[in-house]
A and B are shown apart, each in its own frame.
Chain A
Amino acid sequence: MSEEIEGTRPATDEATHEEQQEIDDNVISPEKAEEVKLKARYPHLGAKPGGSDLLRKRLQKGQKFFDSGDYNMAKAKVKNKQQLPAVTPAEKAEITGDHIPTPQDIPQRKPSIVASKLAG
């Protein structure tokens, strides 16, 4: 493994025991090296590995709007033109309620009965 690990090169010649351990870990495990890379890019990534945030996102898939309270909150947010926090891909937050529902936005029934190309 000739992976260059960002930010772990010791300033002094003698690495501390912890840094040496980390270097050893990264040399041994490509998975841990990838984790270091990820944490370097997204320092705010949740402490719980793969935990409730991802699961909750999975359960909420497809949910666009929450309720009228959510609607009003989101409307107020948009009115104030608040800068929404940058949603990085790693945070994977599809914030329910930010989308203001209007009749035009509700998905129209897609035209059905278009034959599958597999049957062509």
Chain B
Amino acid sequence: MAGAGGGGNDVQWCFSQVKGAIDDDVAEADIISTVEFNHSGELLATGDKGGRVVIFQQELESKNQPQCRGEYNVYSTFQSHEPEFDYLKSLEIEEKINKIRWLPQKNAAQFLLSTNDKTIKLWKISERDKRPEGYNLKEEDGRYRDPTTVTTLRVPVFQPMDLMVEASPRRVFSNAHTYHINSISVNSDCETYLSADDLRINLWNLEITDRSFNIVDIKPANMEELTEVITAAEFHPNQCNTFVYSSSKGTIRLCDMRASALCDQHSKLFEEPEDPSNRSFFSEIISSISDVKFSHSGRYMMTRDYLSVKIWDLNMESRPVETYQVHEYLRSKLCSLYENDCIFDKFECCWNGNDSVVMTGSYNNFFRMFDRGYRQDVTLEASRESSKPRSVLKPRKVCTGGKRKKDEISVDSLDFNKKILHTAWHPQDNIIAVATTNNLYIFQDKL
């Protein structure tokens, strides 16, 4: 198809920026584990396996280059979580940031929640661009003056200074999860948020750290009977009583917190019926949902399983309304993908601002976009080779058998170590952030 599809019939995606080191030898700490735009899109946060958060800020559009949107430059970086060892349970607690979620902005400061496997932290990011000067008892460098030398009094005044961005932990929400936290989600009431681990979901108040309410508990009395785990959870974007959680068996449950304190009984169960004759050893593994995201409208939700992306209408539980194949050619490679553990990779997915296009990652640093309205899809690549400023990305194609055309890549040549698990879409504009193993690519549409 002409153009690169996605986001309308004629959107062409161009390289904008890439962050991170070029060297091939990737330190484990540098592996990007989460990417998230804030609600205005002005800020872009990344978390990595080393427990660090880096926040980029979009520069205001330059008058010199009206055709370009502002670039994203480093705004703040801090160590969010540190490695811990739980001596009581003999458990290593990784510092890897599993998720970052921004709070809607209420005042001059920005707030985000970041979580590792066990502990959620609320961080305040604030700007300081002035400082008080002219103290009576202190010199400018901080040394105390001898009070006997003070002969006149003056009123200290605020003087401008170079912008300083400070990140400080305001709340630490700990000791509420026995299992590993996979999701956090801020409620539309801006007062509460949920955190989900493999078997339980807890509800927190953003102000209160020593207490949380358990709202879902799927732990069986006898662990031998364990058949499924929670894989992701999210609050509805505007109904503060509603949330969903997905499972390793490919089901999604919608719960209403008004119905009861413990939401073990779902209000809705979304499950696509399976053809029993097609069942194989791999069926359950590849049906495990790795991500669930509500549309901005709140009318739909999207799920990602190993091979596909599904769009569900909240009013219809029996089957998804749309299914998009991400990399169906992998179905005949499941044996090797099981052996090298790739079959357990957890891909995320995201919506564009007006819910018309969805995006998800794949292998070989490929990522896919599906335009729901125009019924088009495109495969693009995040690579240093296509990284010339404002160069248009060329659609990629995987050849599944028979004759390989020029510019196509065969399934067996795909690099399964180059996986794009995390992608994010600016809430309003056609700007996307795509994370490869240790680099962050920013692409925009050609204006």
Interface residues of A (CB under 8 A from B): 3, 29-35, 37-39, 41, 45, 49-52, 54-56, 58-59, 61-67, 89-90, 101, 106-107, 109-110, 112-120
Contacts and interface: CB of A to CB of B under 8 A. Distances in A.
A52 B338 contact: no
A66 B90 contact: yes
B339 A117 contact: no
B51 A112 contact: yes
Contact of A63 (B90, B224, B227, B280): B90
A118 B335 contact: no
A38 B281 contact: yes
Contact of A112 (B82, B90, B340): B82
A33 B54 contact: no
Contacts of A35: 280-282, 334-335
A34 B285 contact: no
A66 B89 CA distance: 7
Interface of B: 19-21, 29-30, 32, 46, 48, 50-52, 54, 74, 77, 79, 82-83, 85, 89-94, 117, 179-180, 198-199, 223-224, 226-229, 248, 278-285, 331-335, 338-341, 438, 440
19 contacts: A30-B331, A30-B334, A31-B331, A32-B278, A34-B332, A35-B281, A35-B282, A38-B281, A49-B281, A55-B227, A62-B180, A64-B90, A65-B90, A107-B85, A116-B46, A116-B50, A116-B54, A118-B20, A118-B30
Nearest to B82: A112
A52 B226 CA distance: 6
Contacts of A112: 51, 79, 82
Nearest to B440: A118
Contact of B281 (A50, A52, A65, A66): A50
A39 B281 contact: yes
A118 B29 CA distance: 11
A29 B278 contact: yes
A51 B288 CA distance: 12
Prevailing SS type, chain A contact patch: loop
Contact of A32 (B93, B223, B248, B280): B280
Contacts of A66: 90
A116 B95 CA distance: 14
Contacts of A115: 52, 77
Contact of B282 (A31, A101, A109, A113): A31
A90 B438 CA distance: 28
A62 B84 CA distance: 11
A31 B283 contact: yes
A63 B87 CA distance: 11
Given A61-B180, A116-B54, A118-B74, 16 more contacts: A29-B278, A31-B280, A31-B282, A31-B334, A35-B282, A38-B339, A51-B227, A54-B285, A66-B90, A110-B83, A114-B29, A118-B20, A118-B32, A118-B54, A118-B77, A120-B21
A66 B333 CA distance: 36
Given A50-B281, A63-B89, A64-B92, A38 B338 contact: yes
A55 B284 CA distance: 12
B14 to A, nearest CB: 21
B281 A117 contact: no
A78 B54 CA distance: 45
B139 to A, nearest CB: 30
A119 B331 contact: no
B132 to A, nearest CB: 29
B285 A119 contact: no
B276 to A, nearest CB: 12
A59 B227 CA distance: 12
B334 A34 contact: yes
Contacts of B338: 38, 90
A85 B9 CA distance: 58
Given A35-B282, A62-B117, A116-B54, A56 B91 contact: no
What 4 pairs between A and B have smallest CB-CB spacing?
A: A30-B332, A65-B90, A50-B284, A34-B334
B90 A31 contact: no
Contacts of A101: 90
Contacts of A109: 82-83
A49 B280 contact: yes
B317 to A, nearest CB: 24
